[in-house]
Structure formats: C-alpha cells, structure tokens
Amino acid sequence: MNNENNNIATAGGAMPREALVARVRNAQEDGRILRLEAAVRQEAISRIDPARRIRIDEVPYTVETLAQQYNEEIRVPECQRDLSWKGKRGLAKKQKLIDSVMHGYPIPSIILNRVARLHDDVYDGRHRIHTFHEYRNDKFKWNGAKYSELIPDDQAKFDERRIPVTIVRNASPQQLADIFIRLNSGVALKDYDYLRAHRASPLVTAATTHIMENARLANALGYASLERREDLANWTALACGLSTGNPGNITTSWIRLSDYIYDPVNEDAIRRGVEAICVLLERANEVYPAQDKERQRFKRIGRFLAYFVAEYLATPDNDTIQKWVSVIGRLRGNAGQRYEMTLALTTTGAQNLTETKIRTVLDQVNTLLETGVARGGDDYDDDESDD
C-alpha cells in the first residue's frame, strides 16, 4: 500500500490515518468525560437557600400537656391576644373541638415558634390550646358535663389524647406568615387572612396598637368593636395611609398593602391622624347626636373616614375638622340631606381606594357644599349595614 495514502495532512504536518483516528476518538472520549464531570458538579450544587431553611421538630403533645403549659411554657404573643371564639358560636366551636378529642376525630396540627429554650410562642392553634385549658379548668360544659364531672376513664381519654405539634425554631415573622399561607393554600383566603398571617409586621402591629385597641376611637364610633378579625384590613388600610402620608394607600387590598407592611412605620403620624379622627367624631356626636348603630356606620374607611383623612393630611387644621363635622351633620339630617351627602361620598370600589377615587369624592362633596348640587358614583346604598 502506498505510504502517502496512509498519511493525512494536518496543521502540524502529515499524520498516519490510524494515529489521527485514535486522536479523534480520544478527544471525543475526553469531551464525554468533561461533560459528565460538569453534570456531576452541577448535580452536586444544592438548590436549597440556607438562609431560608427552617429547623422544625414534629412531635405529639398530649392535651393535658398543652392545657397545663398554656400561658407558661407555651405563651401567646401580644399580636394574638384577641380571641374570636366568643359568645354562643364560640362555645359551639369549643364543644365541637372537645367532642373531636373525645371521639378520636383528627385534630389539625398546632404550630409553635420556639423563641427561647423553655419558651414557645403559639403561632397557629391558639384557640385549640385555649379551649383545652378552659375545659380542663371547668370553664364550660361538653355533653352536659364539665371536666371534673367526667368519669375517670373519660378524663383519661381527654388528657391522653395526642395532638400533632410542629415546633419551628426562631423563624422570622415573614417565614411564619409564609407557613400559614402555604398551609391554607387550598382555602380562598381573604385580605384580612393574609394580614393576620403577617400580624407581627410593623404596619399591622401599628394598626392593632394605635387603632384596633384605641378605646377612645371605639367610644366615638358608638362603642364599636374594632378588634374583629374581619376589620383588620380596614384598619391596616387606615394606618398605611396615615403612616405614608398618602391617602391613595388607604386600601384594604392585600396585594397593595403587602408593599408596605414591613417598611418602617411613622407611628407619630398614625397617632396624630387617629387623634384628629377622634376629635372630629366627638364634636359631631355632641352637635349632631346619633344612636350607637348610626355612629358605627362610620367605621368603614370607604364610607367616610378616608376622605376626611385625605383632606386632613393636606390641611391639618381646625377648619378642616369643622368642615367634616358639617358633612356628618348632613349625613344625620333629614332624608334629603342624607341622600345627597351619601351620594356625594360614593365611589366604585370604596374599600380599595386610589388617589383618583378620593379626589373625585372630595370634588363631589365640595360641589354639594358650595352649590347644593349632589352628584356621585354608582354604589349608593343608604340601607347598607356593617353588621
């Protein structure tokens, strides 16, 4: 065979065909090895964010342990002080829970946040633990009997029932809120549910402290209950508008409020705004007396408060307060006056306000006060109730 035919020209000169084939094969094999090594290295990289990883322990507690440790080793954070299981409906829920314990029905897991070696904060399940504690201390009856009136075997079934408990170690408020939202992902959560999940955030805490727990404001609003869970979005919206100084942020929308709940809060601005609202309502109640139910109608931000706050933020003086006292006077006047002013205060989506909507309503109110001509949005309903 001709030797020239067995050589192949390369950049480095002629090379035997067999040697070149071997080199190509080696290069291909080397490439496969490199790709395999790269894939192994890629697989070895963890996708877990160490900063977000939560340490948890999942352990069962007996009902007896939960009841005994309540308010001792197991504590209730300040932001969870309110109880919603009240009255006849609350009692029915408590009795149903005890019935589930006694008859072996599944009980949802309780979540505790361990903030110290011997101290756990209740994050989810406060009503369950509170109910166990109350029943074991004879605060109510189940099936016609208090705990002390049960036969020993029934007492043992109650005490020894094991409840699933998840202990989260030093989770941040945002992580705890995320846990709640994920656990309830199959439920249609409302705006106030999301806010309650983030109840330890600066904005929700400020709304709770300065508005929901404000006895003076509650009295001015006809001794209204300001601490209902359903009202949380209403008052957080007000706190957001006052804190940011922007009435356009007075919205009950979780999507919009979520941009602000962990921002620094101007608590002085919230206190001043709530003080002005109290002065306004107290003056109006003195000059234009009304029954408690009528005074409670002013609780919803989209009915009245947001528009006063918007004007007061722009002009925080006595004249602004007096002007809005006269507005309340018309709302408590004869049927014609009430209709005209309510129409002027009406806009679409009044609980999800924007600067444009607020400005439109203020223009409508000013037109009525200056010319006596009433015009407004399409959502007027004089019979609307907050109850």
Task: Tell me the two tokens of residue 333.
Answer: 């006047």
Q: How confident is the model at residue 380 (pLDDT cuts 50, 70, 90)?
A: very low
Assess contact for 382 and 342: CB atoms under 8 A.
yes
The pLDDT assigned to 228 comes to: 86
Mean pLDDT for 72-80 is 78
β-partners of residue 10 are 13
Residues 281-315: pLDDT tens digits? 999 999 999 999 999 999 999 889 999 999 999 99
CA atoms within 13 A on the CB side of 296: 13
**Lowest model confidence (mean pLDDT) among 82-86, 160-164, 364-368:** 82-86
Alpha carbon 298 to its chain centroid, in Å, reads 23
Query: Mean pLDDT over residues 117-130, rounded?
Result: 87
What percent of the chain lies above the pLDDT cut of 90? 61
Residue 221 CA to residue 385 CA, distance in Å, equals 14
Is the model's pLDDT at 72 over the cut of 70? yes
DSSP, collapsed to helix, strand or coil, labels residue 110 as strand
Q: Which of 177-181, 355-359, 382-386 has the highest mean pLDDT?
A: 355-359
Q: Give the pairing type, strands 13-16 and 7-10.
A: antiparallel
What confidence score (pLDDT) does residue 299 get? 92
The predicted-structure confidence for 174-190, as pLDDT tens digits, reads as follows: 888 888 888 777 778 89
pLDDT at 200: 87
CATH of 56-171, one of 3.90.1530, 3.40.1000, 3.40.50, 1.10.150: 3.90.1530
E-strand stretches of the chain? 7-10, 13-16, 56-62, 74-75, 110-116, 119-124, 162-169
pLDDT at 94 over 80: yes
Quote the CA–CA distance of 128 and 293 in Å, as a whole number.
33
Question: Domain residues of the chain, as ranges?
Answer: 15-44, 56-171, 196-371
For the segment 324-336, what is each residue's pLDDT rounded down to a tens digit?
Answer: 999 999 999 999 9
Residue 107 pLDDT > 70: yes
Higher pLDDT, 347 or 386: 347
pLDDT of res. 52: 84
Q: Which residue has the tokens 């075997």?
A: 153
Measure the CA–CA gap between 300 and 230, rounded to whole angstroms.
11
Q: What is the dihedral of CA 118, 120, 126, 129, to 10 degrees?
A: -30
Between 149 and 379, name the one with better pLDDT.
149
